[in-house]
Chains A and B, each alone.
Chain A
Amino acid sequence: MLAIALLLIVVFPALNALHVSIHIYGDHRLEVDDFTLNLWAKYLCYAILAISVDLLWGYTGLLSLGQALFFALGGYMLGMHLMLMIGKLGQYKSDLPDFMVFLGHTFLPWFWRPFRSFAFAAAMVFLLPGLLSLIFGWLAFRSRIKGVYFSILTQALTYAGSLMFFRNDLVMGGNNGFTDFKFLLGANLRSAGTQRGLYVCTALLLVGVYVGCRWLTFTRFGLIQRAIRDSENRVLFSGYPVARYKLFVFVLCGIIASLGGALYVPQVGIINPSEMTTDKSLEAVVWCAVGGRGTLVGPVVGAIFVNALKSWATRAYPDLWLIILGLLFIVVVVLMPGGLVGLPGQINQFLRSRSRRSDSDSPIASDSPAPASDAVSEEDSGSAELSALKGKPLAPDRV
């Protein structure tokens, strides 16, 4: 784990800064050019988003289809600051952002003015998505909305958000969004050095989020979180205020996603409402599912793998990319509940069960393995009930 972190944080940018280029064979070289570094930065931002999805879904059992909303909101907050930093260098050579001049505004609306300060924008990256998730989560969890209903509600929230941001009269760029950023804290965004710096920040943030979440899962809070995932009613009966735990996790994940979005925007250079749609949320869920939910490494692996696949497929077979993505999704959900990270375990279990079957005929085997991966939630297939009758009659329930 430390090795990977080192690779990401130190080695990549170093290779880029030093313009190292090692010849392998033919036309292929081992090098980290600016484009690749930028691409990896994007992947890492997506990995942060995926972790936020996983913390909710794999660990708490809440499938939120609204994480893209928070991701985009964080991006928009920083984007507002960046738009104001363009200053007079825009198309219209005016203090106002280009799209405002285009729409006929003559002065900056009141809610734009504080964004001149980076500190305020950074605070808003935490505050706005945090507040939104707080209100929505409180409303939802208070009335014990769970399961699919919760997912559908987050989908509706995202849909409403994207509808609002597509409108021009919200003065948030309309369907074009914000783009053409030039400066951040005095540094020119187009320069390789700034991008390298941003990459290092992203990598550091990813590692920080990972470490933080990992620590969280080892505390009592993490235990209760997983208990809520497995059987919410029992946790309620045991006296815990389940709604508060869920609310805390929901807000935390909203903020994590928003941080990812905030770092995404200066590196990609554009933010628009199509980042805020349900499709993007579901893509984040795909990364999580493909990588392996219920683990923290899984989403990172999944995000990088699926996006790398997307980069390749949209160049090689652009017509078929959506079909590939859809099939990937179906296959992973139906056949590989543990994702890529859980694949070795799954193969292992399969081989073991085959060897055991060839050993003895008795169904009550010596130590029939419980489905050990903590990715199993109570929503397992109905065959779980029958296997409970078959395999382990007296084994205590695993919590």
Chain B
Amino acid sequence: MRSPFIFLFLLLAFGAGLGARAETPREIIAKAMVTEDAEEQVKLIDSLIGRSGDDVRGLLLAWKEGSVYIYEQKKGEGDSAVTVKIPVTLDEKQDAEGRQLARGVIDGQPLKNEKGEPLLLSSGDLTQADTDSNLRTAMKSVLDLAALSAPDALTRRNAVSKLGMGQDPTHLAPLQLRLKEETDSSVKAAIREAVDLIALKNDDAKVQIDAARDLAAIGSIPSQDFLQQLLKDSASNPPVAAAAKASLASIATHTKWVNFYGTIFRGASLGSVLLVVAIGLAICFGLMGVINMAHGELIAVGAYSTYIVQNIFGAGLALSPFGHSIWIPGVNAGGYAYECYFLVALPVSFMVAAGVGIVLERFVIRFLYRRPLESLLATWGVSLVLQQLLRLVFGANNVQVYSPKWLSGNWTVFDVILGWNRVFVIGFAVLIVVAIWLLLTRTPLGLLIRAVMQNRTMAACMGVRTERVNLLTFGLGSGLAGLAGAFLSQIGNVGPSMGQDYIVNAFMTVVVGGVGSLAGTVVSAVGIGVADQSLQQILLNPVMGKILVLVAIILFLQWRPAGLFVTKSRGLES
């Protein structure tokens, strides 16, 4: 009768096998959460290294942040009651009494009470599961390696970079393992860099030299510090030192090119901002002889219109000018609709600023054509009034204008960082220039504008209604200022005196470009922008750069007093 024994043995083995099956990561974590012994906790967490699964990351992160609670559930009755500690997480949604649905860490399912209903608990009644520093260090290694298999490419890339900079040789194997499975090219490049960085700490000189050469070939800018360290450490080892030095030199050249293109880009971006700001001014001044010191305030008006539109799309806005309270209701649009607020804000800014400009023209500037100095002074008075009004209505502090998602973020080309909002501004500046050019050369209004600019009285004799043309042109110039304000709200601060920062540069652009010349304004805006950024790079000092640009402009005007592109006329007076 051996078979029953064999059967029992097999049963036992089976049972033992069942009992000894590997615990799921959740179970291990749950056990670690309730264990009192710190060393035991660390051992349990360490055993998770290499285990992947998103719940591992999520749970560990929640634990670190303090979002895991210990719920003590009584099981049984009377003397044989046993208190069982169950780690739970709480769902976000709160019921009327502030209680939340509790989910057990072990299985992620809602906990049930004796009656089988889902358990609602409030966080105040529970104790937090806490961590100590050893535990957190252990969790860190698990998390770093677990991040290697995160679904999001950006997370993977960041994890790889972090591991590379740690220069820990034990991470080499997981990285190379990951390389085989990786599909995303940017992550693969990051793994290559990380592997090289770790190899720099290798004892074998040949490995170090190869790694240094490979880093130079990639052109990896972050590796410069590590190469410097290698150079210092390998003073006794000439071939390694030579390789490190060569790589550093090569990366330095690469950095120089990156800076060069970066400066050009930033110069173009600054130039496009200046262009957008100055083009309205150039139109008003060139075509009508009116210097508008209130141009900066029209920019601020455009920026504030964007702010209001943003708040209308959002939660509404409370204003209190002169002691009265005004509430502007918001539609509380969410997600994609909210992000579109900027597209609505652009025409709104244009319209509002154009409206303010037209009012300004009707009541103040109409009396001051052909008197440029007086128009300068009167518009400065207007700028004071507008600034103070903005201060009284919106408050003296800056207000917050958020960039829509499709304008945030960067586009990195060969290590040159191109911000999306700046690319957009450049593109839009080009669009505006083309639009203005088309307006001036292909539309009837443009013909009238050019006629009035060239000879006002003759145009009036030919039947052109010069007042109407003045009005529309001034409105156009002011509207462009409003558009500039909408863009500047994405790039800089929005406050009552934001216009003052741009006004001096805008004037310089108009003066250098030559009055009445659109091409001149474009060239001078881009030129000043690039010059400003390059001087900042060379001098490493933004203020000295600005001052030098101003001095350079004064000297430039020695050579060409009327600007770059002069509108030639036979008359002696300008």
State the A residues within 8 Å of B (CB).
Answer: 57, 63, 136, 139-140, 142-145, 147-149, 151-153, 155-157, 159-160, 163-164, 166-167, 233, 278, 282, 285-286, 289, 319-320, 322-323, 325-330, 333-334, 337, 379-382, 385
Contacts and interface: CB of A to CB of B under 8 A. Distances in A.
Please indicate which of the listed interface residues B370, B457, B573 has the most CB atoms of chain A within 10 Å of its own CB: B370
Nearest to A382: B370
Contact of A381 (B368, B376, B378, B457): B368
Given A139-B554, A153-B557, A164-B547, A379 B374 contact: yes
Interface in B349-378: 364, 367-374, 376-378
21 contacts: A63-B376, A142-B558, A143-B561, A149-B561, A153-B554, A156-B504, A157-B550, A285-B377, A319-B392, A320-B388, A322-B388, A326-B381, A329-B377, A330-B378, A330-B381, A333-B368, A333-B374, A380-B371, A381-B369, A381-B371, A385-B457
Interface of A is mostly: helix
B372 A326 contact: no
Contacts of B376: 63, 148, 151
Interface of B: 285, 291, 364, 367-374, 376-378, 380-385, 387-389, 392, 456-457, 504, 507-508, 511, 543, 546-547, 550-551, 553-555, 557-559, 561, 572-574
Given A63-B376, A322-B387, A143 B371 contact: no
B573 to A, nearest CB: 7
A80 B505 CA distance: 32
A89 B112 CA distance: 78
Contacts of A167: 543
Contact of B388 (A149, A289, A319, A379): A319
Pairs A-B, 9 closest by C-beta atoms: A329-B381, A326-B384, A326-B385, A322-B388, A326-B381, A330-B381, A143-B561, A333-B378, A148-B372
A389 B555 CA distance: 43
A337 B572 CA distance: 26
Interface of B is mostly: helix
A149 B553 CA distance: 12
Contacts of B572: 233
Contacts, number: 129
Contacts of B511: 149, 152-153
B380 A329 contact: yes
A254 B547 CA distance: 21
Contacts of A233: 572-573
Given A326-B384, A333-B381, 6 more contacts: A140-B554, A143-B559, A147-B372, A286-B377, A381-B369, A382-B456
A159 B543 CA distance: 11
Given A142-B558, A148-B376, A328-B381, A323 B388 contact: yes
Contacts of A333: 368, 374, 377-378, 381
A223 B562 CA distance: 28
Contacts of A151: 373, 376
Contact of B383 (A160, A326, A381): A326
Contacts of B387: 322
A326 B367 CA distance: 17
A147 B373 contact: yes
Contacts of B392: 319
Contacts of A278: 504
Contacts of B573: 233
B558 A326 contact: no
B507 A156 contact: yes
